[in-house]
């Protein structure tokens, strides 16, 4: 590891992408993620890469499809309204089985919304967002170091499974600076025999396409694709357990709110309340098994998120509604203080939940 430097989360993503071998960045500026584009504009020419500010988010995602077809590592980044514009292209990437990294540094919505941090694109990232049967691998960093590490991981997973990996961050993580060490990752050697690299008249042409007019062919393709998704669910779940050994209340939180939750958990434990946290690092695949196991140990769950309650549905499904799940949230760009989360912990502790 190199000596730590202070970097913004957005810059850490950009630098990590370059170190991961990404040489094509196609984007369009939007607050609060513009530093990614600015960093790429500065760095890409120095590593013989391509930085291109497209005429729109829609143009950028379609350029991503083009680069991905050739097997090159490619990324785009945006913030909530911009990701909505990209969503058609995301479905096409899924339908063509193309790897790409897409970064969403979320801001408040819906509509043009605001520019302050939010996690209200959880449904969009996890539950489709665009048309058709498909999944994205969704990674949720909670520090600037993870912004870098999960960018590298995202490229590797995208290549390995030929699918979209999305970094679901928020304005706070994008804008804040923390110490980060970024070193060159070991080169991941994913063969891409499917890529459109020119046949040299030596092989049959590869075809990248998402159109299947015969319904039985489309059904077969979708079923095959879901076998791949099942492998991802089996092998790629990542989460952090925080003070869960003896926890009676289980907070579930990702990204920036998980850090606020940690402060609240420390304060709760000082008052004798046994709180802990499961922090999903992959939102898809969701850490269902860990949560279900926690349902046998804990009296209640608290989902802490920056939206009107989106991940809470997945928590309830994962624990099969064995225990009550409470919501602790702010939305629209507002962020709860550790005191707000502590108040919720105390309230839930008092009403008790179900017996373990």
List of residues contacting other proteins (CB under 8 A):
4, 6, 31-32, 115-116, 171-172, 175-179, 256, 259-260, 262-263, 266, 335, 337-338
- List of residues 6+ apart from 90 with CB closer than 8 A: 61, 102, 129, 130, 136, 164
| Euclidean distance between CA atoms 318 and 329, whole angstroms | 20
Buried b (16+ CB within 10 A) or exposed e, 145-166: bbbbbbbbbbbbbbbbbbbbbb
Contact 35, 59 (CB under 8 A): no
Specify the DSSP class assigned to residue 243. S
Torsion of CA 175, 178, 179, 183, to 10 degrees: -40
| Euclidean distance between CA atoms 302 and 279, whole angstroms | 12
Question: 38 phi and psi, to 5 degrees?
Answer: -60, -40
Q: Which is nearer to other proteins, 318 or 341 (CB)?
A: 341
Q: CB 63 → other proteins: shortest distance, Å?
A: 27
Q: Which is nearer to other proteins, 39 or 286 (CB)?
A: 39
Q: CB 281 → other proteins: shortest distance, Å?
A: 16
Q: CB 260 → other proteins: shortest distance, Å?
A: 4
Q: Which is nearer to other proteins, 292 or 335 (CB)?
A: 335
Q: Which is nearer to other proteins, 143 or 310 (CB)?
A: 143
Q: CB 338 → other proteins: shortest distance, Å?
A: 6
Q: Which is nearer to other proteins, 59 or 266 (CB)?
A: 266
Q: Which is nearer to other proteins, 116 or 349 (CB)?
A: 116
* Pairing label, strands 249-253, 282-284: unpaired
Q: CB 325 → other proteins: shortest distance, Å?
A: 22
Q: CB 28 → other proteins: shortest distance, Å?
A: 18
């Amino acid at each position: 590891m190199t000596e730590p430097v202070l970097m913004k989360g957005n810059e850490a993503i950009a630098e990590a992408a370059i170190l991961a071998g990404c040489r094509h960045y196609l984007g369009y500026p939007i607050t609060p993620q513009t530093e990614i584009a600015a960093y790429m504009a500065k760095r890409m020419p120095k590593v013989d890469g391509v930085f291109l500010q497209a005429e729109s988010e829609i143009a950028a995602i379609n350029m991503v499809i083009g680069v991905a077809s050739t097997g090159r590592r490619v990324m785009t980044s945006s913030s909530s309204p911009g990701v909505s514009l990209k969503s058609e292209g995301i479905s096409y990437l899924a339908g063509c089985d193309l790897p790409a990294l897409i970064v969403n540094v979320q801001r408040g919505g819906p509509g043009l919304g605001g520019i302050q941090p939010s996690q209200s694109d959880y449904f969009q990232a996890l539950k489709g967002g665009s048309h058709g049967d498909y999944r994205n691998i969704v990674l949720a960093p909670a520090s600037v170091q993870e912004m870098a590490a999960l960018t590298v991981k995202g490229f590797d997973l995208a290549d390995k499974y030929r699918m979209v990996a999305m970094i679901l961050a928020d304005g706070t993580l994008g804008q804040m600076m923390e110490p980060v060490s970024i070193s060159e990752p070991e080169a991941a050697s994913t063969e891409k025999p499917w890529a459109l690299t020119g046949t040299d008249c030596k092989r049959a042409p590869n075809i990248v396409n998402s159109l299947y007019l015969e319904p039985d062919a489309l059904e077969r393709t979708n079923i095959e694709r879901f076998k791949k998704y099942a492998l991802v669910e089996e092998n790629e779940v990542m989460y952090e357990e925080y003070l869960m050994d003896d926890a009676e209340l289980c907070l579930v939180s990702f990204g920036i709110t998980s850090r606020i939750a940690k402060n609240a958990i420390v304060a709760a434990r000082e008052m004798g309340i046994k709180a802990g946290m499961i922090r999903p690092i992959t939102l898809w695949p969701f850490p269902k098994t860990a949560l279900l196991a926690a349902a046998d140990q804990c009296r209640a769950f608290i989902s802490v998120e920056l939206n009107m309650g989106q991940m809470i549905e997945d928590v309830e499904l994962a624990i099969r509604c064995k225990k009550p799940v409470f919501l602790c949230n702010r939305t629209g760009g507002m962020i709860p203080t550790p005191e707000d989360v502590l108040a919720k912990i105390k309230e839930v502790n008092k009403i008790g939940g179900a017996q373990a």
